[in-house]
Structure 1
Amino acid sequence: MKRQKRDKFGRAHANGYQAGLGGKAKEQCPYQNIEVKSHWLGGWREAITDRNMGLFR
């Protein structure tokens, strides 16, 4: 059975989350497509919120 790749939106969200945890600015989003970019920013915002709550350092 073949493994399916994650969809591009899920991948963008995960990449944005990792960027947020790493302290990158939202302006460093690598995506140009507005839909994909919004998922990246959603992940980024989620990570920033988690960091501010003290879940990660």
Structure 2
Amino acid sequence: MKRQKRDKLSRAHAKGYQAGINGRSKDICPFQTSDARSQWLGGWREALSDRQLGLSYK
């Protein structure tokens, strides 16, 4: 049975969240298209607010 790939936008959001929770800069966003970039930055911003609340994976 084939596994479905997650769509690219949700994957971009998840990668941005991981970058943000690990304290990386938003300047390292690897996406060039505006949709994927905005999803990545959205995940990054969400991670920053989670870090302020005390959540961390370290």
TM-score w.r.t. length of structure 1: 0.93
1:8-27 aligned at under 5 Å gives the runs 8-27=8-27
Q: Which contiguous aligned blocks of 4+ residues in structure 1 show a shift greater than 6 angstroms? A: none
Structure 1 residue 55, shift from structure 2 partner: 1.6
Structure 2: unaligned runs, 5 residues or longer: none
What's the counterpart of residue 52 of structure 1?
A: 52
What's the counterpart of residue 40 of structure 1?
A: 40
Structure 1: unaligned runs, 5 residues or longer: none
How far, CA to CA, are the matches of 1:55 and 1:31 in structure 2? 26
Structure 2 letter corresponding to 1:2: K
Structure 1 residue 2, shift from structure 2 partner: 1.2
Q: C-alpha root-mean-square deviation of aligned residues, in Å? A: 1.0
Sequence identity (%): 61
Q: Across the two proteins, how many residue pairs are aligned to each other?
A: 57
Structure 1 residue 22, shift from structure 2 partner: 1.0
TM-score w.r.t. length of structure 2: 0.91
